[in-house]
Structure 1
Amino acid sequence: MERPMIYFVCALIFGIITALLLSVNFFAAFIIAAFFIFVIISKDGTKMRIITIFFLLGFFSFILYYHINVPGSFKARIVLKKETFAIAKYKNRKILLYGDIYEFNEGDLTKIYGKTKKEKDYFKGIVANVYVENHVIYKKDIIAKIYSIKLLLYNEYKIIVGKDKAGTIMAACFGDTKYISYSQKEDMSKMGICHIMAVSGFHIAIVYGVLQRFLGISAIVPTFIYLIITGMKSSSIRAFIMLALIAISKSLYKSYDALSALSFSALVLLFFNPYYICDMGFILSFLATLGIILYYNKIKLKLRKLPSKLNESISLTLSAQIFSMPFLMMEDINVRLISILGNLFIIPLYSLIIIMGNIGSLVVKIKPLFKIICYCLSTIITAVNGGSALVLQLSPQLVNYAYLEGIVVILIYMCYIFVIRGYENIKFIPLIAIIFLIFYKIQLF
């Protein structure tokens, strides 16, 4: 079996989806489980038994995650604080809090007293709702201090560069978006670079790449610390696991397989957090990475006559959208067909902000050096704002798609895969699907 890790993670995903559907629709879960079992029993060998084990691991990890009783008083950590609600982690499960939450701060380890209502939200990983009647905030531990340090950094940056630019620095460097305005988020989305404002594989790759120049393979340690500081988002954990596997393979003089590494990172994340199967950030991160792994070099080869930087930007953008765009269409989310301008002109500037913002965080107590870095950051952000205004004028408009368009795009892609593998008899199916879509749209008018 070539690349067995791919089969293992697919089995785990099938198990999780079966458990999810069992909670919603027993018949659908039965069909999926029966199909999977039929495939397994039609094969022989130890590897098929291992695949069955991963299917069961996925199934029971999902069941066990949501099968928990939240008592009337419990200790939990606040991971998200909004005006009207908060989210806490209890035994690695997410709990929605409302009521007396106004004194909570993100990172606080808190003893919570309240009324528990067992309402599950499978798409957000919520296992229960708790109306908080009273609470006791414990003395700050190292995690709580990390959250406090980020607030301190924001205040230090705000004094020198101003509120808006300080918010941009905190969002770009640490994924802390509560300091940036809604209009800023909208502009990032329109340019197709909103991933900059959430710590992702892009950030992990930049931090590790810079540190590796000075520390070599040991750069994986401070990169892991950066991962903890930024909140350990699914996309950044995925990137860290893949980087760690690259570092290990180099140290052992072994070959590195990107698809197997991607599959392994998905397996680890889904096993410990099975609700990620419904998390949009997780899904988009893996779909974009999968597209880059499979098609970046192929597109780059096709566009080899273009200037190098332009070639890389276009190839990266198109390959990342091959799988993620159909998903966004099916989710009825606005899609920008091509975000090349944002990736070509704005992303490099944000790379500088990420590097210098993190350096500034390390020398915040050395005031003269910190001020120099802040002035450099202020200049870069001014350039970003000017460049963003130009890109927004030149970029194509957001396109509204619906579920059916996503299905058609997936169908076209699947037919393409089959045709290049020799199934010529299905090459007219995409044309039929497009004609059907056109007539469907005409009927709407």
Structure 2
Amino acid sequence: MSTEIILKGQVLSFSRSPFDEGTPQDATQVSEAVAIQDGLVVGTGSLSDMQAQLPAAQLVDHGDKLIMAGFVDAHVHYPQTAIIASWGKRLIDWLNAYTFPEEMRFGERAYADEVANRYLDLTAANGTTTVCSFCTIHPESVDAIFSAAQTRGQRIVAGKTCMDRNAPDGLRDTPQTAYDDSDALIARWHGVDRLDYAITPRFSPTSTPEQLEAMGALWAKHPDCLMQTHLSEQVDEIAWVKSLFPQARDYLDTYEEFGLLGARGLYGHAIHLEERERHRLREFGAGLVHCPTSNTFIGSGLFDMNGLMAEGQRIGLATDTGGGSSFSMLRTMAAAYEIGQLRGTPLHATQLLWLATQGSAAALRLEDKVGNLAAGMEADLVVLDLASTPAIAQRTAQAQDLWEAVFATIMMGDDRAVAEVRIAGQVA
């Protein structure tokens, strides 16, 4: 039996990137209603037009709340859920003190299931409907997050993290086991329902050249998979990479040499890029992922959003939990604004919302499926209350237009602003 729903409110969709030439807000359309049938968007427009298309649809009236595509978080570590907001470390010390001890626990399937479900509960409560996650070296950790997402009908990208050096005993694989385990997981999960696999070498310092070569061979075998890793997050990390790969031209070259640079590649952080790296990333159309709360929390640096966008880079936005300090994409957008201010290039509210939806979806090569409200797109939505707290409500009351009101929720909002979340048209 067909499921038909019409949501009424302030329905936001994008007609282009607000980073393109022109006024950012002109990249958006605000309609009165969105029509949904069997988990897909039928269209947006006036209520009467939507009811003409789906005359038997249930009407859900959200008043003046903002209805938009659910948030897309393009770089997370779901196994770090329990250690989010741990004090005082920079990248390498963070991994050794917090991350690696916690990730050791994910060989136990029951624990991985518990954290996977807790993580998806927390992110859904914050309006996030699609995530791209690193797992641990344990295949059980991948099975756990995919099983949890499959039960919820949720679109997700994930992959087994591969590491064969510079990690504790019990948290290393080998080039061959990394290849074999990942290959088996791809066969089990990739393309099933709304699930996609990402080949996942953690980063160059924790993979030998032999393992990076194996991951490049695996990606060549499965070119429709994404490949996710980290790139140029901190200055001392880059120095470490240079010491481990003395023949490499730069950090990116440690991936490029082994076939790990491509259009379906995702490179988290990308803060301290050299000119050659920027050129090659743009040439391949690779995805860069900005993780602002993480970059400030562990002291990594200030991402060059405007400069990279002006070059034509493909950029998404992410919480990077648990190095990032929040599960909320609203807080992540606020941090991206603050970093833009520190660089002298503040972002408009429309640009922030686009990064958290269409921008991230495009980085994941999913822009034809999620991240916008348009006919044929999957009906993953979030409904935002633009007066969710007294502090936000009093600011919204003074707003001269929708964008002032939206900006107040971006800067001060949290999970209380999330009035409803729908995944494939169903209330989450």
TM bucket (normalised to shorter chain) is: under 0.3
TM-score normalised by the chain length of structure 2: 0.25
TM-score normalised by the chain length of structure 1: 0.24
